Structure 1
Amino acid sequence: MTRKLTSQDAEALAVSALVYVANDPVLLPRFLALTGIEAPAIRQAAREPGFLAGVLRFILAHEPTLTAFAEHAGVAPAAVGEALKALPTGDDRYLAST
């Protein structure tokens, strides 16, 4: 049985995913277009709750990207989904009722 990811592990994997996307000349423009974020604003956006979960959702939405990132990061593809669940707004546990 594998151990459950901590929020710190999940955040580290999501940051790694962001760096992976930012360094890829094909993925970065797609990510920016889908999110509406301009490249200079990524650092500021990364401080917002839910941004890192969004990065993992982007990775998870395209199986070839997921497979390539998981291989790059040295994790099983399923670990990316588990990391998403451990991040704020990655799961209903973190949604505040209004």
Structure 2
Amino acid sequence: MADAASMREQAEALAVGALAFVASDAELLPRFLAITGIEASSIRRAAAEPGFLAGVLQFILAHEPTLMRFCEETGTPPAAVGKALHALPLGNQDDYERST
């Protein structure tokens, strides 16, 4: 069984891939920026903040067609995205709900 650090590294890698997916899409990127309130020029800085990568996965998970397209393009099982979310800082749904 993978240890917590390994699971987190895998989750971070998946989330970075999801961020690249969002950033490369002319329709998704503006929506992501509008929802998060982040300016395009600040994404790199924001990516270092705790919870940012979990937010990327929450964005992907919130819209099933986006999730399915991401999974198809990356060969990622949809369930793996949810598992990755929970392995990331602030990826616990309870934490997310308290922060909104």
Q: State the TM-score bracket (shorter-chain normalisation).
A: 0.7 to 0.9
Q: TM-score, normalised by structure 2?
A: 0.86
1:75 shift after superposition = 1.1
Partners of 1:28 and 1:52 in 2: CA distance: 15
Q: Deviations over 1:16-44 (max 9, x none)?
A: 00000000000000000000000000000
1:65 CA displacement = 0.1
Q: Once the 2 structures are TM-superposed, how far is the Cα of residue 93 of structure 1 from its aligned partner?
A: 9.2
Does residue 1:12 correspond to 2:10, yes or no?
no
Q: Identity, % of aligned pairs?
A: 63
User: Does the 8 Å CA contact 1:88/1:94 hold for their aligned counterparts?
Assistant: no
Q: Distance in 2 between matches of 1:73 and 1:41?
A: 25
Bigger proportion of residues as helix: 2
- 1:94 deviates by 8.0
Q: Which residue of 1 aligns with 2:25?
A: 24
Q: CA RMSD in A?
A: 2.3
Equivalent residue runs for 1:44-59 within 5 Å: 44-59=45-60
TM-score for both structures, normalised by structure 1? 0.88
Hey, which bits of structure 1, 4+ residues long, moved more than 6 A? 92-95
Aligned residue pairs total 94
Measure, in 2, the Cα distance between the counterparts of 1:84 and 1:34. Answer: 18
Structure 1: tracts of 5 or more residues without a match:
none
Structure 2 regions of 5+ residues with no counterpart?
none
